[in-house]
Amino acid sequence: MASQIPKNNLERYLLPLLLLLVWQGLCYLRIIPSHLLPSPANILFGFKDLLLIGMPPEHLLYKHMLYSLYRVALGFLTAAFLAIPLGLLMGWSARLRRLISPLMEVVRPIPPLAWIPIAILWFGIGIKSAAFIIFLGAFFPILLNTIAGVVSINPIYLETAQTLNAKEKDVFLKVLLPGSLPSIFVGMRIGVGIGWMTLVAAEFTGVKEGYGLGYMIMTARDIQRPDEIMAGMLVIGLIGLLINTGLKACESLIIRWK
Amino acid sequence: MNLELKGICKTFGNEEKGRILPVLEDIHYTVGEGRFVSIVGLSGCGKTTLLRIIAGLEKATKGEILFGGNKIDYGKNLIGLVFQEYALFPWRTTIQNIQIGLEILGMPKKERLSAAMEYVNAFGLSGFENSYPHELSGGMQQRVAIARTLIVKPRLVLMDEPFGSLDSLTRNELQEFLLQLWEKRRESIIFVTHNVDEAVFLSDEIVVLSKRPARIAKLFKVDAPRPRDPTSQESNAIKRVVLQELAEQKMHQGRTSPQDNFQTTQS
């Protein structure tokens, strides 16, 4: 059995490694022109340049990352802070659901990016409008999953609470919130994912100077550095993966009853 | 305190739409203080509905329930309910489940923890106080559920087929455990069951409900001395008459369904 574990791991990495080798080979033989798709080695050098020289120069990668993360955190946390209580209330009260749902169903399909012009009009170019766009992307998945979580709670738990004379406050804090927590986490993971994806696009148009991964990539495009574009894309993917893993870890720390 | 059911009727459905289902019809019955009463009847006859009405989870269409001569004040934890499905909160450990009623009452943390610990020990749950429900066996889960109900000291405990989904050994064990508790504490108990052996082993009185809409078809007093021997002639004699009454109810029903096969197993 023990010998199977390393072997399986090797198999997991086999295909990506092979792909990288073929890619490198095709670039080396000039079958793929390097101004369209840089080779893996070039991307690695691009990454080094982003890290040490910066894009534009002296705007280092870690600062772009911090700014982007800050915008996402601001938008995401605001969304969670508003969507979870509202979702609990809407899950609890069918009346409130009937009242709000039509409005929600009209606003929800509008892509967050379509809000950029009005966001810039309202908040100007900068952190506020970027955070607002991310807020819109994260808000609805969290809200809908919280509602679904509350609605799917087995009524027997509510009846049990009722026979123990639970007041509304107890019902919310001791039954509805813990009962819908698994679903809330699903919503938060989807929400932060959408927020992160939205961010980069928002920074394409919303940030004209300063820092941000989206802005960094657009600048690299302006001066024709596909290696740095690709390296920037990879960084975005890896950070997204990291955020998701972090939330999953939080989840298994908080939800220990599964 | 006596529980008095006075002419309880319950109808489900909407009269205006003309689709009504009468479930309970004119139930008159008094449960004396400290009595152990079992309710048996064909499945779907309305036993659970009656229990839910007494628990305050549903309203009677007609009739009145008095407890100690007054209308029941549901804000005082006078009546506890134990479900067949245990209904333990899956996100709470054993001790957190047991103490939730005290938490709702606003008892300080230290006091309620030590109170809950007493129940953990008395209910044979020590070592499992920090386990989550899914880590416990069915019998243990039901112990936790009973402890959670009893810790707020209700005067009347309603039990809806509480041992219905347990294997027969665990069921016997919990029956004896319940009797020990009851002999010490003397709450009144209304116990709904399918199992006539169980009713005969546990109760002072057995109420047989008729087919739907349910009325009280017959009342049996069980005077056999405790502890009872489930295989004694006395027990068997009571069992026989209760089963006869149920068979009669079933004949009245005309159509029968497979769930109506009453258990007369084991012990």
Cα Rg of chain A, angstroms: 23
Query: Is residue B92 over pLDDT 70?
Result: yes
| Structure-token pair, residue B137 | 């066996």
pLDDT band at A206 (very low <50, low <70, confident <90, very high): low
Least CB–CB distance from B57: residue in A159, A178, A257? A159
CA angle, residues A245, A247, A250, in degrees to nearest 5: 115
CA distance A23 to B159: 70
Same domain, B105 and B202: no
DSSP B214: B
* Span B140-175, pLDDT tens digits: 999 999 999 999 999 999 999 999 999 999 999 999
Cβ atoms of residues B204 and B221 within 8 Å: yes
Same domain, B18 and B45: yes
Q: Which CATH number does the domain housing residue B209 bear?
A: 3.40.50.300
pLDDT band at B76 (very low <50, low <70, confident <90, very high): confident
H or E element, residue B206: strand B205-209
> Whose structure tokens read 């009005």?
A118
Q: Considering only CA atoms, which of B48, B108, B120 is closest in space to residue B83?
A: B48
Same domain, B114 and B239: no
Residues in chain B: 267
**Domain containing residue B103:** 85-153
Query: Is residue B209 over pLDDT 80?
Result: yes
Least CB–CB distance from B100: residue in A174, A181, A255? A174
CA distance B107 to B241: 48
Cβ atoms of residues B159 and B190 within 8 Å: yes
pLDDT band at A201 (very low <50, low <70, confident <90, very high): confident
Main-chain phi, psi angles of B261, to 5 degrees = -75, 110
pLDDT band at A6 (very low <50, low <70, confident <90, very high): low
How far apart are the CA of A174 and the nearest CA of chain B, in angstroms? 9
Same domain, B189 and B210: yes
* Span B30-45, pLDDT tens digits: 999 999 999 999 888 8
Three-class SS string for chain A? CCCHHHHHHHHHHHHHHHHHHHHHHHHHCCCCCCCCCCCHHHHHHHHHHHHHCCCCCCCCHHHHHHHHHHHHHHHHHHHHHHHHHHHHHHHHCHHHHHHHHHHHHHHCCCCHHHHHHHHHHHHCCCHHHHHHHHHHHHHHHHHHHHHHHHHCCCHHHHHHHHHCCCCHHHHHHHHHHHHHHHHHHHHHHHHHHHHHHHHHHHHHHHCCCCCCHHHHHHHHHHCCCHHHHHHHHHHHHHHHHHHHHHHHHHHHHHCCCC
Report the percent of chain B where pLDDT is more than 70: 94
| A157: contact with B, CB 8 A cutoff | yes
Longest alpha-carbon distance in chain A: 77
CA distance B38 to B16: 36
* Span B62-71, pLDDT tens digits: 999 999 999 9
Same domain, B143 and B182: no
H or E element, residue B110: helix B109-122
Predicted pLDDT of residue B194 = 87
Which residues in chain A are closer than 8 Å to B90, comparing Cβ atoms? 257
Same domain, B163 and B248: yes
* Span B105-129, pLDDT tens digits: 999 999 999 999 999 999 999 999 9
**Contacts made by residues A52-61, CB under 8 angstroms, sequence distance 24+:** A55/A216, A55/A219, A55/A220, A55/A225, A55/A228, A55/A232, A56/A219, A59/A211, A59/A216, A61/A216, A61/A235
Same domain, B43 and B92: no
Same domain, B122 and B252: no
| Domain final residue, candidates B153, B177, B203 | B153
| Domain final residue, candidates B153, B174, B206 | B153
Q: Considering only CA atoms, which of B26, B90, B37, B94 is closest in space to residue B64?
A: B26
Same domain, B170 and B260: yes
Task: Of A15-19, A109-113, A206-210, give the lowest mean pLDDT range.
Answer: A206-210
Predicted pLDDT of residue B257 = 46
Query: Is residue A250 over pLDDT 60?
Result: yes
Q: Which of residues 69-128 of B touch A (CB under 8 A)?
A: 74-77, 79-81, 83, 85, 87, 89-92, 100-101, 103-105
| pLDDT, mean over chain B | 91
Predicted pLDDT of residue B258 = 44
Predicted pLDDT of residue A251 = 94
Q: Mean per-residue pLDDT for B236-240?
A: 94
ipTM of the complex: 0.89
Inter-chain touch A164–B104, beta carbons under 8 Å: yes
Q: Give me the number of domains chain B comprises.
A: 2
Predicted pLDDT of residue B266 = 40
Cβ atoms of residues A149 and A182 within 8 Å: yes
| Domain final residue, candidates B112, B138, B153 | B153
Half-sphere exposure of A141 (CA within 13 A, CB side): 19
Query: Is residue B262 over pLDDT 90?
Result: no
Strand stretches in B15-149, DSSP E: 19-31, 36-40, 62-67, 70-71, 79-82
Report the percent of chain B where pLDDT is more than 90: 78
Same domain, B160 and B239: yes
Inter-chain touch A170–B104, beta carbons under 8 Å: yes
Cβ atoms of residues A175 and B96 within 8 Å: no
Same domain, B175 and B206: yes
| A255: contact with B, CB 8 A cutoff | yes
Using CA atoms of B60, B65, B71, B74 in order, give the dihedral in degrees to the nearest 10.
Answer: -70
How much is the pTM? 0.86
CA distance B4 to B54: 10
Inter-chain touch A164–B100, beta carbons under 8 Å: yes
Same domain, B11 and B91: no
DSSP, collapsed to helix, strand or coil, labels residue B117 as helix
**Contacts made by residues A123-126, CB under 8 angstroms, sequence distance 24+:** A125/A206, A125/A207, A125/A208, A126/A206, A126/A207
How far apart are the CA of B150 and the nearest CA of chain A, in angstroms? 10
Cis peptide before B227 (omega within 30 of 0): yes
Cβ atoms of residues A70 and A127 within 8 Å: yes
Predicted pLDDT of residue A247 = 95
Cβ atoms of residues B36 and B87 within 8 Å: no
Report the percent of chain A where pLDDT is more than 90: 75
